[in-house]
Structure 1
Amino acid sequence: MLPVYHESEEVQGVRVLHRVFWSFYPCIVAFRHCKPLVQVDGTHLYGKYKGALLVAVVQDGNQNIVPIAFAIVEGETADAWEFFLTNLRRYNVTIDGVSIISDRHNSIDAAITRSNGAWSPPRAWHMFCIRHIGSNFLRRFKAPYLHKLVVNTGRNKSTTKTTKGFKSRVRHTRNGVMRSVLAFDGGHRWRHMTTNLVERINSVLKGARNLSMTAIVRSTFYRLNELFTRKSAEAHERVYNGFTYSEFATKRVEESFRRAGSIVVNRFDRRNEMFEVRGMQDGSIYTVNLVQRYCNCGHVPK
């Protein structure tokens, strides 16, 4: 929070929000089940309220993109990125051995340098997006054929003589080859060469970037709530030994009632794992709860 001044005097009891960082508990928990790699990027706000929206995303084992943290700051300055990365380390990325991919923005480099090792080896590895490296190269040298060679060299997986020569030329530069070339990254990139994941999220939030700060936070909440709800429903339909979750759960109930005679499953509540079953012999109707391991017939389902 910053003080407010009227002419040269500070207005007492009034403060202006300078920066804000937020994350949601499901996002914090989700990171524990994702690749130890974070992509970060910033995008400008437009409309009445200026500044920048900073975003961090990760990816799970099913290639799903998971946003884990956001911040609204005055711009992509070194101080702003330091604020974002410090809070990201404090609340979300609390483990060591992680990687972070960003563009070549000098303010990000400066913020990582100020992090007292929180985003530096061996606790973390900072990598560059090869697409941004190529764009910067093309902007400077205006040579499209060399631009393609640079990008292909960065994406090369084998340590050929060409990439070894490239390594020897940049070994002592400020950035270092490990931050730019896949063949020498030590496996810390998880084969991610760009910041495409976080840029996709920025495109999704494009319509919210002209809103007020409160509205932006609310927008991320509702969008993430919808995402986690949808993915939860999809997870319940995953396959068990060739059956969907619903089919598999039904078979569990049928197996547990096999000794009691033939039954028919009338209804199934996927959310609560509740069944209504009817016995074929006497027409009796029972309720089965797989979560609480309870059936009003007196038989415990296994």
Structure 2
Amino acid sequence: MRYYLILLALLMTVQVSAQLSIGNEGLTIMAGTTFSSEGLTLTPSANLILSNNSIQMSSTPLAGSPNGSINRAYQFGAPITFSGTAGISYLTTELNGHDEASLQLAYSPAANAPYILTSGSTVNTTNHVVSNSFTNRNLFAVTAVGPPDLIPLLSALPSTQYGTTNFTVVVDVFELNSTATSELATVYITKDPLIALSFDASSTFVGGKVVQNGSWTFDGTSNDDFYLVRTTQVIGPKARRSFGLTGTLRPGNTKGSIAITSTIAGLSGGEVKLTNNSDSDKIDYFNK
């Protein structure tokens, strides 16, 4: 015999213990019905059948990436294929230092698989619930994290130049929020008619700094105002990934100063905080 949760006039919510076990008789959650297990809610868009499975709530993050999730995580005994809305109800004491309004659901599709950070999660800061929609996603474990926060630090050397001068530009991209990036990250570098910058993908040491140019791609032609430097490689929690450019400044008979600016494109790597995405360095130049 199967047990059904049926939506009548009002939404029905079923509360269960921290460890829910479902035998071979199975449990069916009807489409549009909200099922809850210790703060984990599932509202499937089609009938969801759970059989020979379990749901375990833990007050500590599960192992894997992203690190530094909130202190609430859920794990199924076996992955389920889910379409609909999943949500987590949490306590403010479980935020683990994260900004509540920026929380995103993250899920692992299988045992020992890394977590996948979602985007577009909805956070109710009054009721302390974070939720998101899924379509045919395998869910093995679910938690919530703050999105990554990337900042660039740009260094141009030498900072004072006389006549035609070769110089270097190094950009260190740091993650600040203890969450690994999950998407393409793009850095814009301003162009100037007096400067020509180039990129060597094999470089590991530029301007006296260790760089990872092999993790980045360089586009110097598609944009008239910026060089575009991109990476699809993960920037880990509290980690750094750097690239270096070499350049030549030709001031001719002029003198003055040039600001070279690096800007991380909005939403790069899955981040949502845009107030710390730029950094610049100034070069003072003189005609020789």
Fold similarity call, TM over 0.5:
no
| Higher helix content, 1 or 2 | 1
Which entry has the higher C-alpha Rg, 1 or 2? 1
TM-score, normalised by the number of residues in structure 2: 0.25
TM-score normalised to the size of structure 1? Answer: 0.24
Structure with greater strand percent: 2
